[in-house]
Amino acid sequence: MTPMRTDLVTNIRAELTKQRKRPAHWLLLAVAVLLTLTFAYLIPYLGLADTPEGVTNGRGIGALLPPAFVGNVIAGTPLFVGALAVIFGVLVAGSEYNWESWKTVLAQGPSRLTVLGAKMAVLVLGTLVLLGTLLAAGAAASALVGVLKDQPLDWPSVSAILLGAGGGWLITTMWAMLGVVLAIGFRGVALPIGLGLVWLLAVQNLLAVVAAPLLDWVADLQLGLPGPNAGSLVAALGAPPGTPGVDALTAAPQATLVIAAYLIGFAVLGAWLFRRRDIA
């Protein structure tokens, strides 16, 4: 009966097995791909087919071709991809409360911060997989449009792809981390998902559309909120203007810093809450 050592690497391995084999995550990924392809490619393409050349969305065929694929894909991250990322974060952390499996895991002896750190690491990997898959799907769709419309397949530079992917990844990870904090704060799944979606899909829009035009302080407040900064960042990285949630309110460097600050803030808040509260 020798004392066992636990560390972050073995806990990440445990977490990877758990999350990799969870069907709900793959369903979320499929929904994200479906929504991205539908709203970024299928609907604009159908519109393109039904209207005179160049009229669709004021963007024309060029918006569906490979040079624009990065912007098309990450345009969803401030809104619906972000919503799916919140659900992903809530499921990763909150299901442990629903299944009461925290006690089973923690009774094995790892420290709370090690377990949560492993969860966050896997969360970051998960959002990387999400962004990578969306970019691959977007690239394939744009190539298909190019072939169908007999257009040249000019791809963006590697640096442009990496920059766009990095921005989208940062935003998606920030939303997923919000999901983790909500799950830990409310110790479950249903309420955190509900609150996360209400904030992301309703409150942010109401603030932007209803409150900000009327109240200067709300307009100023928006500049520090995660959603508008996410919208600003993807706008700077090529997301099509006019897409819901995409609006260049702040400069890209500021938007990046604000989103990174939220990401770190959510992670620290989640760790602080998880460390100090009882596992009932």
Partner 1 sequence: MTSPVETTALTKRYGHLAAVTGLDLTVRTGEVYGFLGPNGAGKTTTLRMLLGLIRPTSGTIRLFGASPGPHYLDRVGALIEGPAFYPYLSGHDNLRVLAAHAGAGPRRVATVLRIVDLADRAGDRYGTYSLGMKQRLGLAAALLKDPALLILDEPTNGLDPAGMADIRATIRRLADDGRTVLLSSHLLGEVQQICDRVGMISEGRLVAQLSVADLSSAGLRVIADPLPAARERVSAMIGADRVTEHGDALYLDTTDDMVPRINAELVHAGLAVRELHRCEPDLERTFLELTGGRGDSHAH
Chain residues in the site for partner 1 (CB under 8 A): 1, 3-7, 10-11, 13-14, 17-18, 21-23, 99-111, 115, 276, 278-280
Beta carbon nearer to partner 1, 38 or 108: 108
The tokens for 47 are: 């519109």
CB of 107 to partner 1, least distance (A): 4
Roughly how many angstroms between the first and final C-alpha of the chain, as a whole number?
29
Residue type, 161: I
CB of 118 to partner 1, least distance (A): 9
Beta carbon nearer to partner 1, 58 or 109: 109
The tokens for 26 are: 């793959």
Beta carbon nearer to partner 1, 273 or 279: 279
The tokens for 266 are: 């959510």
Distance CA 192, CA 197 (A): 8
Distance CA 169, CA 87 (A): 16
CB of 183 to partner 1, least distance (A): 16
Burial of 15 (0-12, 13-18, 19+ CB in 10 A): buried
Detail the DSSP E strand segments found in 179-270: none
Cα–Cα nearest to 250, from 271, 272, 228: 228
Beta carbon nearer to partner 1, 3 or 152: 3
Distance CA 5, CA 69 (A): 47
CB of 114 to partner 1, least distance (A): 9
CB of 8 to partner 1, least distance (A): 11
CB of 216 to partner 1, least distance (A): 44
Beta carbon nearer to partner 1, 25 or 59: 25
Cα–Cα nearest to 15, from 123, 100, 103, 90: 123
Contact between 108 and 102 under an 8 Å Cβ cutoff? The reply is no
Beta carbon nearer to partner 1, 7 or 220: 7
Q: Is the dihedral of CA 10, 16, 22, 28 positive or negative?
A: positive
Q: Residues for the chain: how many in total?
A: 280
CB of 5 to partner 1, least distance (A): 5
Beta carbon nearer to partner 1, 123 or 135: 123
Contact between 103 and 279 under an 8 Å Cβ cutoff? The reply is yes
